[in-house]
Structure 1
Amino acid sequence: MIQMDASPARAAEPARDCPLCPRLVAFREQWRAAEPDWHNAPVPSFGPVDGRLLIVGLAPGLRGANRTGRPFTGDYAGELLYDTLIRYGFAAGKFEARPDDTLRLKDARLTNAVRCVPPENKPTTEEMRNCRPFLAATIAQLPNLGAIVALGKIAHDQVLAAHGEKLSHHKFAHGAVHRLGDVVLFDSYHCSRYNTNTGVLTPEMFRSVFAAVRAHVDTLP
């Protein structure tokens, strides 16, 4: 059962000037002054709300989604992610790393556990807690949801917390699968440049997760 915190409001997307996290607000204002043409605001979810799959990342990249305003667009992680989504039928069109390309998601929606870019890509525990109601609302607004992919342990933990599940009952591991009521959670290492450059995650490992996701989604109504 989805657990909704009392605050902030139960909207699935934070306001452009969301005030909940002072450190992230200050960082946002710093980059608005330095790069006024960038998005520099909470990055909204992307994809249809009637999809059966939700993919949850960590947070927007500074020069990626924070710049372009679309999740995983403008940095390396998006190259592997969107190529994989196209490969397994969850996206169509051409990904050109900009929000006005022809890419569209199919039967899938993409979001982040933390919607604002954090310094050094490291949100604090409080920031993750502040943003969790938006994730819970995003999950709750998907009427056909049957599968979630968590990209990394933080996304995994936030999905579990949004469902009111104990972390100790569902250990994160690449390729692990967890039943959360009517939804199945699939774990993957994050598709960051660091993980791929160090060999923690290979394209084949990443694709194997989405092959399992595709097989599961194809069994859903």
Structure 2
Amino acid sequence: MDEAEEDAGFPAYRAARCASVAELDGAVTGCRACPRLVAWREEVAAVRRAAFRDEEYWARPVPGFGPADASLAVVGLAPAAHGGNRTGRMFTGDDAGDFLFAALHAAGLASQSTATHRADGLELYGVRITAPVHCAPPGNRPTPAERDTCRPWLAAELALLAPGLRAVVALGAFGWQALLPVLARAGWLLPRPRPGFRHGGLVTLPGGEGRGPLHVLGCYHPSRRNTFTGRLTAPMLTEVLERGARLAGGAG
């Protein structure tokens, strides 16, 4: 193992040097910059949940998922301990992912409505799913320091998508708040004061430094709490995704 992968500065150093989305996806999976997250993701994989005791967990940072020329991005929070941390793919293998992929399929953005493992045949159309934090955090709560350490991966990913990126859907307040400073650094102009998160909210950021305008939409996160209580329903999520696709000029 390269000792640099365990250094807090590794994401900033390595992400900025990735020349393609594929290279970035490979690089992020080797990151060990956050000791608490590394310990947790590996502990979960060792102990395992009873339902998955015979499965081999991914137990590494989870890269983004979707085409490298996507015009729409969906930004979540972080992989789930027994979801993405187990399967190795964003939002795959947990309740939130079931809810999200069903809505993506209904919006014409996914080839199927279910996502169970990396070899299940699922394809995304014109949309890429990623997160501000690539490792599963204890209690689904990354610390501000972990968010900031991981930020260069998201910044590099959005910069690589930038030539064709036209819209972003931020899932939840954490995704929204983590996304805005990254977009500012990537060349889009943020209004002052910075807009707050709200479900169904839309902010269009003027382009700069060769960037075209970018539409940023807010949507409640498809967490179990939000979906079980009805705060977020399937039609609500599908509507936001369809709107994002229209603004991006793609399907839906």
How high is the TM-score relative to the length of structure 2?
0.79
Unpaired stretches in structure 2, ≥5 consecutive residues: 1-10, 19-23, 49-54, 185-189, 207-212
Q: Which one has the bigger helix percentage?
A: 2
Counterparts in 2 of 1:216 and 1:17: CA distance versus 1, 3 Å: closer
- Comparing 17-26 with 192-201, greater Cα deviation is found at 17-26
Match of 2:196 in 1: 171
Q: Which runs of 4+ in 1 moved over 4 A?
A: none
The correspondence of residues 115-194 of structure 1 with structure 2, limited to 5 A, is 115-142=134-161, 143-164=163-184, 165=190, 168-181=193-206, 182-194=213-225
- Comparing 121-130 with 18-27, greater Cα deviation is found at 18-27
Aligned partners of 1:61 and 1:55: how far apart in 2? 16
The structure with the larger Rg is: 2
Counterparts in 2 of 1:118 and 1:166: CA distance versus 1, 3 Å: farther
For residue 107 of structure 2, the aligned residue among 75, 88, 100 is 88
Unpaired stretches in structure 1, ≥5 consecutive residues: 1-5
- The answer to whether the 8 A contact 1:68-1:98 is kept is yes
Counterparts in 2 of 1:212 and 1:102: CA distance versus 1, 3 Å: same
- The answer to whether the 8 A contact 2:76-2:221 is kept is yes
How high is the TM-score relative to the length of structure 1?
0.89
Partner SS for 1:178: strand
The correspondence of residues 1-221 of structure 1 with structure 2, limited to 5 A, is 7-9=12-14, 10=16, 11=18, 12-13=24-25, 14-35=27-48, 37-93=56-112, 95-142=114-161, 143-164=163-184, 165=190, 168-181=193-206, 182-218=213-249
Over the matched positions of the two proteins, sequence identity in percent amounts to 39
Partner SS for 1:179: strand
- The answer to whether the 8 A contact 2:72-2:128 is kept is yes
Partner SS for 1:141: helix
Per-residue deviation at 1:26?
Answer: 1.6
Answer 1 or 2: higher relative contact order, Cα 8 Å, separation at least 6: 1
Per-residue deviation at 1:162?
Answer: 0.2
Per-residue deviation at 1:84?
Answer: 1.2
CA offsets 1:87-142 (integer angstroms, 9 cap, x no match): 11211145242211121001111111100000010000000001111101110111
Counterparts in 2 of 1:8 and 1:120: CA distance versus 1, 3 Å: farther
Q: Please report the RMSD computed on the Cα atoms of aligned residues, expressed in angstroms.
A: 2.2
Q: How many residues align?
A: 216
Aligned partners of 2:217 and 2:166: how far apart in 1? 11
Per-residue deviation at 1:176?
Answer: 0.2
Aligned partners of 2:169 and 2:155: how far apart in 1? 15
